[in-house]
Amino acid sequence: MTTVALEVLPRDLEPYRLGNTGVDWVHRFDSGRPGPHVLINALTHGNEFCGMVAATHLLDSGVRPLIGTLTVSFANVAAYRSFDTARPFESRQLVHNLNRIWSDAWLEGEDDSPELQRARELRPVVAAADHILDLHSTAQDVQPFWVYPAYERNTTAALAIGRPAVHLVMPQGLGSGTPLIQHGLHGQDSHHGVALVAECGQHFRQATSDLAVEVTLDFLAHFGLIARERPTPAPAQRFELLQTWVVRDPGFRFTRPLVGFETFAQGELIATDGADEVRAPCDRCTVLMPTRAPIVGREGVYLARPLEPA
């Protein structure tokens, strides 16, 4: 049995299955006025409930765009439905990580899984959006943060929206696959569209879901789809992703317990992975997303360095 406090639990999403796009669990609202097309995407991972709370809030409260188009998507409902309170971390995915398979090689390849089927269904939904907010949460109870490719358009939007105040910038992509926010044109420097992940806090905390709702409304207001007063942005703390370490050996171990945002001196040993050593590539190296339970082929830890204020 888990000892994690489950403040937020799944709700029945069957009433939201039939949208108006021809794709299950996808709802679209067109204002009839010129403006951007914004996609709010929830449940890329099945146990990250904050996105579900934010998406159902938009639908239940009848939020409609003043300009442009709003699309609300529940992504990996199949994994979400597998949630077991005794094993709350195991419904992240059924087979593939839905947030690593958005390349042409995966989407047009011969492999199959519930996640690949769903990504192929959602592909036109993602491609149609100008701006994307993909709502996520973290296994450990750490401060919320943005994640996004290091395009100026993403930095500008994240700084203007303001919360979360912490940013993880990816100059070379994620390093372990292609996330949804880098699919197609959103992975190109020449594109106009903003695509951000918001990691809103620990999976099962009510505060995480509350923040996801606020960030979603802030995102929509930033692009003019709703009218909303927003707080003055807090000073940003920014990090640059240097390396994503993927676990190679079932004996992967950290040198000390980590939850995220711990720092290491250059060359300091962070973890061992069989015969390999994970050492800090720079001074003040900051670790993010350290794995709770190492699985060969999945991310073990992200290594980042602090950036000067933008």
pLDDT of residue 53: 98
Residue intervals of the chain classified under CATH 2.40.50.630 are 241-307
Q: 165-216 pLDDT, tens per residue?
A: 999 999 998 889 999 999 999 999 999 999 999 999 999 999 999 999 999 9
The answer to whether the beta carbons of residues 138 and 302 sit under 8 Å apart is: no
Sequence-distant (6+) residues with CB within 8 A of 40 are: 54, 55, 58, 70, 71, 72, 73, 133, 135, 216, 219, 220
pLDDT of residue 286: 98
CATH fold, domain 241-307, is OB fold (Dihydrolipoamide Acetyltransferase, E2P) (2.40.50)
For residues 57 and 40, give the distance between their C-alpha atoms in angstroms, rounded to a whole number.
12
What percent of the chain clears pLDDT 90, i.e. is strictly above it? 94
Residue intervals of the chain classified under CATH 3.40.630.10 are 14-222
For the chain, what is the HEC assignment?
A: CCCCCCCCCCCCCHHHCCCCCCCCCEEEEECCCCCCEEEEEECCCCCCHHHHHHHHHHHHCCCCCCCCEEEEEECCHHHHHCCCCCCCCCCCCCCCCCCCECCHHHHCCCCCCHHHHHHHHHHHHHHHCCEEEEEEEECCCCCCEEEEECCHHHHHHHHHHCCCCEEEEEECECCCCECHHHCHHHHCCCCCCCEEEEEEEECCCHHHHHHHHHHHHHHHHHCCCCCCCCCCCCCCEEEEEEEEEECCCCCCEECCCCCCCCEECCCCEEEEECCEEEECCCCCEEEECCCCCCCCCCEEEEEEEEECCC
* CATH, domain 14-222, list 2.40.340.10, 3.40.630.10, 3.40.50.11810, 3.40.50.300: 3.40.630.10
Q: Mean pLDDT check: name the lowest of 12-21, 33-42, 169-178, 249-258.
A: 169-178
Q: What is the mean pLDDT of the chain?
A: 96
Q: Is the pLDDT of residue 2 over 80?
A: no
> Amino acid identity of 294?
P
Q: 64-83 pLDDT, tens per residue?
A: 999 999 999 999 999 999 99
pTM, two decimal places? 0.96
The answer to whether the beta carbons of residues 38 and 223 sit under 8 Å apart is: yes
Q: Is 163 left (phi over 0), alpha (psi -120 to 50) or beta?
A: beta
What percent of the chain clears pLDDT 70, i.e. is strictly above it? 99
Q: Is the pLDDT of residue 58 over 90?
A: yes
- Whether the bond between 164 and the residue before it is cis, its omega within 30 degrees of 0, is yes
Sequence-distant (6+) residues with CB within 8 A of 261 are: 142, 143, 286, 287, 288
Which of 59 and 172 is assigned the larger pLDDT?
59
Q: 268-307 pLDDT, tens per residue?
A: 999 999 999 999 999 999 999 999 999 999 999 999 999 9
As a whole number, mean pLDDT of residues 97-122 equals 97
Band (pLDDT 50/70/90 cuts) for residue 234 is confident
Band (pLDDT 50/70/90 cuts) for residue 233 is confident
As a whole number, mean pLDDT of residues 85-98 equals 96
As a whole number, mean pLDDT of residues 85-100 equals 96
Band (pLDDT 50/70/90 cuts) for residue 310 is low
Q: 136-152 pLDDT, tens per residue?
A: 999 999 999 999 999 99
Query: Dihedral through CA 62, CA 63, CA 67, CA 73, nearest 10?
Result: -100
